[in-house]
Amino acid sequence: MSGYEKKRISRRDFCKAAGAAALVLAALGGGAYGLQVWENAQGAETSPTGTGSDHRRPVAQKELTYSGKTYRQKSKVESYLFLGIDVMGKAVGTESYIAGGQADTQILLVLDHEAQTWQMLQFNRDSMVEVPVLSMMGTVPYTIRQQLALAHAYGNGREQSCENNVLAVSMLLGGQDIDGYFALNMGGIGILVDLVGGVPLTVTSDFSAIDPTLIESETITLNGDQALEYVRSRQYVDDQTNLARMDRQRQFLSAFEAQVRRQQPEFAVDAYDALSEYAITNIAAGPAVQLADKLQRYQKLPLLTIEGENTVEDGYWAYYLNEDSLQQTILQLFYQEI
């Protein structure tokens, strides 16, 4: 068996591992981490030495010079893109090539196996980037500079849309490899919140025009419907920018993590049953279990965002990324100084 013995994953071990992953990434649109793989994990086999993608990086790493310093691409890094799709229904897909729904929440999870750390990068959905435009044949004849959220809109609303979004993020990050994706339709958020018994937090914004039960400065336990409004709404809330909504999403994610910590290991199974029809992923069972294990063992680093400037163009928000902030983020996550 390639120099090491494979081990069979028990039901209880998988529950613990998947629950740990859900702890970090569940809900929040980019959220509920690969619980869809549970069904295939009964009796699945996995290697104890890595997630599989550790060894797929090229031997010769890219080098670049920035601000007078030279950097080399890290060799033991893997990343996963988590998408929250602004669609309430199930992830059924269509036969159209422009019906994918917008990815309003996008979070990249990056693991550094050598440093044994992991970190999340939260993208502003309004970021103006080069977005691949899919043709009816599924090819990418050209790109258009538009909001990052629109990358998922091209495609069939399932794997094709996710792959196009992955390509857009990879291009934005200078061609970095992305090892997998997990997309959750927004309709799944309320289901998951109710499953954990609600999420307590202090309401930081004035939601009186949206939901009078969300009273600013009061601490309440959000139910599923309230949680969806809290992480999704931006019209008539705060300054109506996505930056303000991203702040609430980070607050919610932290509070949700605390709730998941209180769940029994079997929570992962319940979450899978509840969300399987709302989610799309290409993360296989074995890598999912190993990834979850690393999220438990590795050191968590602070969440990152990319600085930029908000403007309004043709009635829509446009967020122009600061090139220096973007480059420093790429270097921090994927390179090391030599």
Residue 43 confidence (pLDDT): 43
Element (H, E) at 77: strand 77-85
Mean predicted lDDT score pLDDT of the chain:
83
Q: Judge whether residue 126 has pLDDT over 90.
A: yes
Alpha-carbon distance of 234 to 245, in angstroms, equals: 6
Alpha-carbon span 248 to 226, nearest angstrom? 13
Q: How confident is the model at residue 276 (pLDDT cuts 50, 70, 90)?
A: confident
pLDDT beyond 80 at 219: yes
Residue 1 has pLDDT above 70, yes or no: no
pLDDT (0 to 100) of residue 56? 52
Predicted pLDDT of residue 273: 78
| Enclosing H/E stretch for 324 | helix 323-334
| Residue 337 in this model has a pLDDT that exceeds 90 | yes
Residue 291 has what pLDDT? 82
> 51-63 b/e with 16+ CB inside 10 Å = b?
bbbbeeeeeeeee
User: What's the confidence (pLDDT) of residue 127?
Assistant: 98
**Eight-class DSSP state of 153:** G
The per-residue pLDDT for 70 is 97
Nearest to 30 by CA among 267, 286, 250: 250
Give the model confidence (pLDDT) of 284-301 as tens digits: 777 777 887 788 789 999
DSSP symbols for 241-258: -HHHHHHHHHHHHHHHHH
Longest dimension (CA), the chain: 62
Q: What is the pLDDT of residues 57-88, one digit of tens each?
A: 555 689 999 999 999 999 999 999 999 999 99
Range from 50-54, 250-254, 298-302 carrying the lowest mean pLDDT:
50-54
pTM: 0.84
Best CATH choice for the domain 7-54+64-194+264-337 from the list 2.40.50.140, 1.10.238.10, 3.40.50.170, 3.30.420.590 = 3.30.420.590
Q: What average pLDDT does range 33-54 have in this prediction?
A: 39
For residue 63, the model assigns a pLDDT of 93
Nearest-5° Cα angle at 50, 46 to 51: 70
Per-residue confidence (pLDDT) for residue 78, from 0 to 100: 95
Per the CB < 8 A criterion, the answer to whether 147 and 128 are in contact is: yes
Q: pLDDT per residue over 255-271, tens digit each? A: 988 888 787 767 777 77
- Looking at the DSSP bridge assignments, the partners of residue 131 are 144
For the stretch 179-198, pLDDT in tens is 999 999 998 999 989 999 99
41 secondary structure, DSSP code:
G
Phi, psi (deg, nearest 5) at residue 156: -95, 5
Q: What pLDDT is attached to residue 288?
A: 75
Q: Is the pLDDT of residue 24 over 80?
A: no
Mean per-residue pLDDT for 107-123?
Answer: 96
56 closest CA partner among 163, 164, 170, 178: 178
Choose among 41, 36, 14, 81: nearest CA to 188.
36
**Segment 243-252 mean pLDDT:** 94
